[in-house]
């Protein structure tokens, strides 16, 4: 967040209001409201950079210490050894030395304020009248960004839906003003004040939010055109959701079955999963479509034969039982990573506006790309955990997992998502090799890490703590706890864990 930019923006607005032709009462209400707007952001107060204007309109009050009615506050101000905020005061009170006198500045509790939509409307009108293009654009940018990140909502008179926005006389007037002036982004504007670009907003799959954003960013577009575009987008989304299962089966299902994969029956719609067993390990591939992202998210996972033996169980079809999990796109090769098929969230782009033929071709390209997982993910992970991965120390892997490589990136060869699971895997590796002393050393690391946790997760409480307790009692025939990763944590929380 650009805190200093917000502070400067509020100061410019206060000065603009002070110069404007509004009534004195209206100016005071607008200034109070601007300070209220500033309070929503993590910024410092602007009192003393625009104190003349605030004092002039009674938004800020300056009182000699001797004239303070509140005896407690008066005594505190007289006893203070230096200027500054009086912490025990009710509200924000600042003590200042002026020559030999002491004065306090405070904001009165009373005074009318305006709904936030009206605040923006008033400031934008004043900026337009003053032909202050920079302030107009910054104010409009703050309005749009605040709507986009939900800093503002319906309670402020700024609805979250297209119909709600169109129903507001104030917002329609603001939009008309933007259309009249021409909405030109200001080069170098701070983040919170920069008018966003539609393409960078991340709303492409959220129809209502995208159309709401178009309300602001395309002010010359008629309400009827916006509603028509929204209704069309909804129809396209419904069509894609109806078509997608057929396309997934046609392209992914067929090719995966030919490669030895079996489909897993799932209850959830627009979720697909396939498994394949190989040399005692179980490979897993699953996909899900999220219309708010506009992408088919494809992931890969593995239950390794060696870890299954340590866990003393058979492979399952449950995603939370996986030992390692990865986004499939990471292992599909540079050509795929650099292609337009891959979206901002790492999934396969499916644009509802595209024709059936284009969507079908996109799924066909995904089916063609997926076999790369065999060598780059499944075989690599299987081979690594069979031996080579343990040639590097646990501390080396922990360093990479917690701090990343030279570029700050956690490389895929780390395999596991949790430092505690890395240590557990090494505990059982050393037990398998008959290296009791090394296993004990890693258990001690686990114990210290658990003791240092202020709030252990449900996994730590249900699995790690009991394991450590039994280890302390001399039990060495334990099964390895489930490998910790986000899918397991979500599963545990969904089943009553906090």
pLDDT value at residue 134: 94
**What single-letter DSSP state applies at residue 397?**
H
pLDDT value at residue 97: 85
pLDDT value at residue 201: 65
In a domain, 75, yes or no: no
Instruction: Please state, in angstroms and as integers, the Cα–Cα distance from residue 85 to each residue in 92, 96, 153, following that order.
Output: 7, 9, 32
For residues 380 and 280, state if they share a domain.
yes
If pLDDT is split at 50, 70 and 90, which confidence band does 224 have? very high
Residue of 72, 118, 74 whose CA lies nearest to 95: 74
**Neighbour-count burial for 367-401, b at 16+ CB within 10 Å, e otherwise:** bebbeebeebbbebbbebbeeebbeeebeebbebb
For residues 340 and 193, state if they share a domain.
no
In a domain, 300, yes or no: yes
Residue 117: domain span: 1-60+107-221
For residues 402 and 370, state if they share a domain.
no
- Residue 94 reports pLDDT greater than 90: no
For residues 122 and 140, state if they share a domain.
yes
In a domain, 78, yes or no: no
If pLDDT is split at 50, 70 and 90, which confidence band does 197 have? confident
For residues 284 and 408, state if they share a domain.
no
The model's pLDDT over 417-457, given as tens digits with 9 standing for 90+, comes to: 999 999 999 999 999 999 999 999 999 999 999 999 999 99
**At which residue do the structure tokens 């409009």 appear?**
140
In a domain, 435, yes or no: yes
Choose the final residue of a domain: 343, 363, 384.
Answer: 384
In the structure encoding, which two tokens stand for residue 320, read together? Answer: 């939370």
For residues 331 and 405, state if they share a domain.
no
- Residue 212 reports pLDDT greater than 90: yes
Q: Distance (Å, rounded) from C-alpha 281 to C-alpha 299?
A: 17
pTM score of the predicted model: 0.80
If pLDDT is split at 50, 70 and 90, which confidence band does 1 have? low
The average confidence (pLDDT) of the chain is 93
Q: Output 4 or 368, whichever has higher pLDDT.
A: 368
For residues 253 and 185, state if they share a domain.
no
Q: Distance (Å, rounded) from C-alpha 141 to C-alpha 145?
A: 6
For residues 441 and 315, state if they share a domain.
no
Choose the final residue of a domain: 363, 384, 405.
Answer: 384
In a domain, 100, yes or no: no
For residues 364 and 395, state if they share a domain.
no
pLDDT value at residue 275: 98
For residues 217 and 271, state if they share a domain.
no
For residues 267 and 290, state if they share a domain.
yes
Residue of 16, 15, 18, 39 whose CA lies nearest to 28: 18
- Residue 98 reports pLDDT greater than 90: no
Once rounded to an integer, what is the mean pLDDT over residues 318-325? 98
List, in order, residues 6 or more apart from 261 with CB less than 8 Å away. Answer: 274, 275, 276, 285
Instruction: Please state, in angstroms and as integers, the Cα–Cα distance from residue 462 to each residue in 37, 43, 223, 337, 493, following that order.
Output: 46, 42, 55, 39, 11
For residues 41 and 121, state if they share a domain.
yes
Give me the number of domains the chain comprises. Answer: 3
Choose the final residue of a domain: 189, 221, 253.
Answer: 221
In a domain, 291, yes or no: yes
């Amino acid at each position: 967040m650009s805190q200093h930019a917000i502070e400067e923006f509020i100061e410019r607005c206060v000065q603009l209001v002070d110069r404007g032709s509004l009534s004195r009462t209206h100016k005071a209400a607008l200034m109070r409201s601007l300070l209220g707007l500033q309070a929503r952001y993590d910024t410092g107060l602007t009192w003393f950079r625009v104190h003349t204007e605030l004092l002039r309109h009674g938004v800020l009050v300056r009182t000699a210490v001797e004239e303070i009615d509140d005896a407690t506050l008066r005594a505190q101000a007289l006893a203070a050894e230096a200027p500054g905020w009086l912490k025990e005061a009710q509200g924000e009170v600042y003590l200042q030395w002026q020559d030999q006198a002491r004065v306090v500045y405070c904001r009165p509790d009373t005074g009318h304020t305006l709904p936030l939509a009206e605040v923006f409307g008033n400031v934008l009108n004043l900026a337009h009248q003053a032909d202050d293009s920079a302030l107009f654009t910054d104010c409009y940018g703050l309005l749009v960004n605040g709507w986009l990140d939900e800093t503002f909502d319906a309670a402020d008179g700024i609805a979250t839906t297209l119909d709600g926005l169109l129903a507001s006389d104030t917002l329609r007037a603001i939009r008309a003003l933007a259309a009249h002036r021409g909405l030109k982004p200001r080069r170098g504007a701070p983040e919170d004040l920069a008018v966003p670009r539609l393409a960078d907003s991340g709303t492409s799959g959220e129809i209502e939010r995208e159309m709401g954003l178009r309300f602001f960013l395309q002010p010359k577009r008629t309400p009827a055109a916006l509603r028509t575009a929204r209704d069309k987008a909804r129809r396209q989304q419904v069509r894609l959701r109806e078509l997608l299962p057929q396309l997934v089966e046609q392209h992914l299902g067929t090719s995966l079955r030919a490669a030895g994969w079996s489909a897993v029956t799932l209850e959830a719609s627009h979720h697909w999963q396939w498994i394949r067993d190989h040399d005692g390990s179980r490979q897993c591939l699953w996909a899900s479509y999220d219309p708010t992202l506009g992408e088919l998210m494809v992931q890969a996972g593995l239950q390794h034969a060696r870890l299954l033996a340590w866990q003393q169980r058979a492979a399952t079809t449950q995603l939370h039982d996986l030992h390692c999990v990865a986004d499939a796109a990471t292992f599909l090769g540079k050509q795929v990573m650099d292609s337009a098929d891959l979206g901002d969230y790492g999934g396969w782009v499916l644009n509802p506006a595209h024709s059936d033929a284009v969507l079908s071709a996109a799924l066909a390209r995904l089916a063609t790309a997926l076999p790369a997982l065999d060598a780059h993910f499944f075989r690599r992970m299987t081979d690594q955990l069979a031996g080579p991965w343990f040639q590097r120390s646990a501390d080396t892997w922990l360093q990479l997992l917690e701090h990343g490589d030279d570029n700050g990136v956690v490389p895929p060869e780390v395999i596991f998502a949790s430092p505690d699971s890395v240590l557990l895997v090494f505990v059982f590796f050393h037990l398998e090799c008959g290296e009791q002393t090394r296993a004990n050393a890693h258990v001690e690391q686990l114990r210290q890490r658990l003791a240092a946790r202020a709030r252990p997760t449900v996994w730590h409480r249900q699995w790690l703590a009991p394991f450590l307790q039994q280890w302390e009692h001399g039990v060495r025939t334990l099964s390895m706890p489930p490998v910790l990763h986000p899918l397991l944590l979500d599963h545990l929380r969904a089943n009553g864990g906090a």
